[in-house]
Amino acid sequence: MEEKKQHSTAENILYLLRHVTKVDHTYLPALAATLAVKLALPIVATLLPTAAVAALTRGGSMEQYLTVILGLMALYALGTAISGYLTQVMGLKNMRFRIQTFVPIQFRKALTMDFCLLESPEGQKKAATADAALRSNDVGVEGMLRHLEPWLLNLIGMVLYGAAAVRLDWRILLVLLAMTGANYFIALWAWRFNMQTKPTADTFLQGQKYLRREGEQPANGKDIRLYHMEKWLMDAHNACVINRDKWRRQSFGRRALRSVSDSVFLVIRDALAYAMLVGSFLDGNIDAAGFTLTIGIISTFTNWLNEFVTTSDDWRYETLEVDDLRDFLEQKDVLNHGPGPDVSQVKRPPQVELRDVTFSYPGQERPVINHLSLTIHSGEKIALVGLNGAGKTTLVKLLSGLYKPDSGEILVDGMPTTDFNATEYLRLVGTLYQDVNILPFTIGENVSGREDYDRTWVWSCLEQAGLKEVVEAMPKGLDTSITQQLERDGVNLSGGQQQRLLFARTLHKNAPLLILDEPTAALDPLAEADLYQKYARTTEGKTSIFISHRLSSTQFCDRVVYMEHGCAAEVGTHRELLEQGGKYAELFQLQSSYYCDEKEVQHENT
Ligand code: ADP
């Protein structure tokens, strides 16, 4: 797993700017205009009282002063209006950038990144933490961009006013800088605490989210109620909330200390500035207007300075969140996404050969697939059986091209699967997994996987899967939504109907390599027998692998592969393996005797 890369605030700002300027050509001009107006406003605000005091104390033409004062007031009012408007514009731009550009970038990554990365615990953690950077206006991506304008404004203002302040009285500037320095170190101390403790605090947040999500799943709802798990889940959730809150209070407490120090320093600053300036005024070094101007400059300068430290501090937190997002987005795919052999040239049905394949999941030492060698001939039907944990589903993931072997090769028509472009390779494989995954869209969309589809072909697949009549009876036919999540008149399918729908989806793909991973687990015996027949028919002209715990179902397959500890322990026809008298035969006898016993019991009862 790659190390998480940390970027400096400047690097992250440039990264966001690169993206935002690509999609929004008016972003930088709007930012520059906002800065210009917001820089000019405090200058006018400082000059206004100075002009008023000068009018009162220096004598001269009242008319002239009034014109200047009124002019400045009009300018200030206009500037405030423009500034308000531009602030709204920038706010909108930043928000749109987060929602319309970055949220889709994150979503696309989740949809297209290599499945093996997404499925890994590390990938799941990255996906969960990346969310924080896009959660709201004030954090991560949008927070950093929002703070760019005040940061630049404060920096420029600070330099301009600092230059003016140093010319007036360098001692004041020195005091201000010392205070700001102290503030900076308090902020840094608070941030360091945050940095060190955030990963642990994030796990509480993830726990909280996870428990809520699972608790809201109807599939879990039954068990939760039936086994009175509410209190247990609630307590686990609340423990996460309490721990997260404890951390938040510690973190915010440290940050709040900076606000306290701000206020204390403000009083000291004012006391010192007034003392020095009153002294200068009494000595006759400055007049009343000069006094007002200097106080104006010093207080504005202090504001710039303080705001600059505050914004830099906010950035320091936001940059951590942007780092988390980048860590998720910049995960490097491990499969081949470059050019590869032309999949349309692969013979139909293909031959698949596993050559000494070994594989273990990331972070696990024990191989799940262990030096497995097996040839599946073109058009052959293979039954893959074995106890739980033998590695069957993992083998399916390898054959599907979702993972690649650690060593050894899987060859399709003599070409290593890893040579193919990973996305192209998927065109060769149609897999029906045991875990049901139907999205809350229409039946037609679920079967075809897209919005615009060939309705005749979808109806034909539904017919082959034995679901046509059920769908025909629905008011909107193919356009009926599954579940009521998106449409009020959506339907809920039974377990068996869901399996058939997924089967129709597999048929729709019409891939030459067909893999069915325990597809009848949720079915009653009649539906199961019916589906077996349908599978048998649809596997014609395809190379197929069929995984099932019901060993009777292996009989329509050409050969049986009995897997144990990631190896092909026994390979042969059903009859050969029974004659061999090995593990498969033992398991088959066990299942048959169970059925026989059941029959005997039924006979005795009648
Ligand atoms: P089967 O399908 O034969 O029941 P699996 O291929 O599902 O076996 O699992 C084989 C082994 O791999 C089991 O020990 C299981 O715990 C482990 N395993 C399965 N999926 C993962 C995963 N995504 N990450 C880590 N370990 C896994």
DSSP assignment string, 171-213? HHHHHHHHHHHHHHHHHHHHHHHHHHHHHHHHHHHHHHHHHHH
253-298 pLDDT, tens digit per residue, is 887 887 788 778 778 877 887 788 788 888 887 788 778 888 888 8
- In this model, does residue 594 exceed pLDDT 70? no
Q: How many Å separate Cα 72 from the centre of its chain?
A: 50
Give distance in angstroms: CA of 392 to centre of ligand 1: 8
Q: Which two tokens stand for residue 206?
A: 């993830």
Q: Which two tokens stand for residue 224?
A: 């939760």
pLDDT band at 486 (very low <50, low <70, confident <90, very high): low
Atom 12 in ligand 1: residue holding the nearest Cα = 368
3-state secondary structure of 373: strand
Lowest-pLDDT choice from 21-25, 516-520, 592-596:
592-596
- In this model, does residue 414 exceed pLDDT 60? yes
pLDDT at 595: 55
Lowest-pLDDT choice from 267-271, 552-556, 596-600:
596-600
- In this model, does residue 602 exceed pLDDT 50? no
With pLDDT > 90 as the criterion, what percentage of the chain qualifies? 48
Atom 14 in ligand 1: residue holding the nearest Cα = 389
pLDDT at 170: 75
Average pLDDT of the chain is: 87
Average pLDDT over residues 488-517: 88
- In this model, does residue 581 exceed pLDDT 80? yes
215-263 pLDDT, tens digit per residue, is 888 778 888 998 899 999 999 999 999 999 999 898 888 878 877 887 7
- In this model, does residue 339 exceed pLDDT 50? yes
pLDDT at 17: 96
Nearest ligand 1 atom to alpha carbon 395 = 6
Average pLDDT over residues 492-509: 88
pLDDT band at 182 (very low <50, low <70, confident <90, very high): confident
115-127 pLDDT, tens digit per residue, is 999 999 889 889 9
Atom 7 in ligand 1: residue holding the nearest Cα = 393
Distance from C-alpha of 293 to C-alpha of 46, rounded to nearest angstrom: 6
518-534 pLDDT, tens digit per residue, is 777 667 777 777 777 77
Give distance in angstroms: CA of 245 to centre of ligand 1: 36
Choose among 48, 45, 83: nearest CA to 69: 48
Q: How far is CA 456 from CA 189, 386, 448, 459, in A?
A: 67, 39, 11, 5
Give distance in angstroms: CA of 433 to centre of ligand 1: 14
Distance from C-alpha of 200 to C-alpha of 197, rounded to nearest angstrom: 6
pLDDT band at 2 (very low <50, low <70, confident <90, very high): low
Residues 6+ apart with CB under 8 A from 200: 247
Atom 25 in ligand 1: residue holding the nearest Cα = 361
Q: How far is CA 278 from CA 47, 50, 68, 175, 297, in A?
A: 20, 16, 27, 17, 15
pLDDT at 305: 82
Nearest ligand 1 atom to alpha carbon 121 = 24
Residue scoring higher pLDDT (334 or 307):
334
The amino acid at 73: M
Model pTM score: 0.80
pLDDT at 243: 93
pLDDT band at 96 (very low <50, low <70, confident <90, very high): very high
Residues 6+ apart with CB under 8 A from 156: 35, 39
Mutate to test the pocket of ligand 1, among 358, 361, 364 (most ligand atoms within 8 A of CB): 361
